[in-house]
Amino acid sequence: MVQSVIKNWQGEQVGETNFDLRVAKETTAAHIVHRALVRQMTNSRQGTASTKTRAEVRGGGRKPWRQKGTGRARAGSIRSPLWRGGGVIFGPKPRDFDLKMNRKERRLALRTAFISRADDLIVVEEFSNELQRPKTKDLVAALARWGAAPEQKALLILSEIAENVLLSARNIENLKLIPADQLNVYDLLHADKIIVTSSTLEKIQEVYSA
């Protein structure tokens, strides 16, 4: 059970909340979170790097000089990997980097990573109504009042992203805004501060507790 205070738009404490998620055992927690992180980063690779072999490089069909009598080394093609402009030996080819991980393991790793950041978690009241129009400066000031300094990397998790919040947050350099259903291990571990609304915290418990 983790206990956290709830702050309002002005940064004042207005209540407390408790949340509980089933996490991995202490002996295996680091291992399963690491596996999930490696899987996410590996699966984000495009795998489109490609080089041409000597068979794929254009040209080189004619023998550049006769086999004997010239005093030079034997050569059968100007597209040999030893030649400038030739093919590439054992170069990369398009491939699939996807790693597999069971759904239950992924959920367990996500819950474990989230609970591990409990000390850096900031719970706030719903604030979309406070931004009557898109205003980046107002949101930056609110983040500072909540305890997320401008130089810190902050992750803002919302259950529903209002347009004014989206437009206000998209130009803040160290802030990343994601919906609750796109929670991932990398963003949780990468951020210095994690900001959630009280309703979002309830949704996270509801969606990811199973």
pTM above 0.85, yes or no: no
User: HSE-up of 40 (CA within 13 Å, CB side)?
Assistant: 19
Burial class of residue 19, CB neighbours in 10 A (0-12, 13-18, 19+): buried
Q: What is the pLDDT along the chain (210 residues), one digit of tens a residue?
A: 788 889 999 988 888 888 888 888 989 999 999 999 999 999 999 999 999 999 999 999 999 999 999 999 999 999 999 999 999 999 999 999 999 999 999 999 999 999 999 899 999 998 888 888 899 999 999 999 999 988 999 999 998 888 999 999 998 999 999 999 899 999 999 999 999 998 898 888 888 876
Cβ distance 203 to 196 under 8 Å? no
> Measured on CA atoms in the order 4, 165, 159, 111, is the torsion positive or negative?
negative
Q: How far from chain centre, in Å, is Cα 168?
A: 21
Beta bridge partner(s), residue 194: 121, 155
Tokens of 101: 């991980």
